[in-house]
Amino acid sequence: MIAVDTNILVYAHREESPFHSNAYVAVGHLAQGPATWAIPWPCVHEFLNVMTNSRVFAMPTPLNEALTQVLEWTRSPSLALLAETQSYWEILHRILGSSRVTGPQVHDARIVALCLQHAVTELWSADRDFNLFADLKVTNPLT
């Protein structure tokens, strides 16, 4: 199963992004395909934060438009939204201990832990910080 990180979702949504076309096609292919794909819940929250944030975009996406985009993704019958279960803390604890990340990279460790908990085999991201985590294959679908 492939999971999609926030930055790929942002690029797929924002038409002015130089990566928009590739991200839009990549996410669309997952959403319309028969194979199960995933978005971790923290990536949904971060997508809404980034899209509606005037510190990120001079003209942020209106909240209703951002919510509609998330709703469209959730209508994909093959989408799994990844949330914490009982084993999550053990996995996160192990990842934090082995990677020794701190600060903002703890958020990335959280994404990795969710992916591992739900048997994700590959995370699509343009964020190189995920290379700090050896337990999960990370691919940039835009290159």
Q: What is the DSSP letter of 60?
A: P
Predicted pLDDT at 130: 94
CA–CA–CA angle 30, 56, 113 (5° rounding): 50
Predicted pLDDT at 7: 97
Strands laid side by side in the 37-40 sheet:
79-82, 37-40, 2-4, 122-124, 137-139
Predicted pLDDT at 31: 96
In order along its 143 residues, the chain shows pLDDT tens digits of 999 999 999 999 999 999 999 999 999 999 999 999 999 999 999 999 999 999 999 999 999 999 999 999 999 999 999 999 999 999 999 999 999 899 999 999 999 999 999 999 999 999 999 999 999 999 999 98
* CATH superfamily placement of domain 2-139: 5'-nuclease (3.40.50.1010)
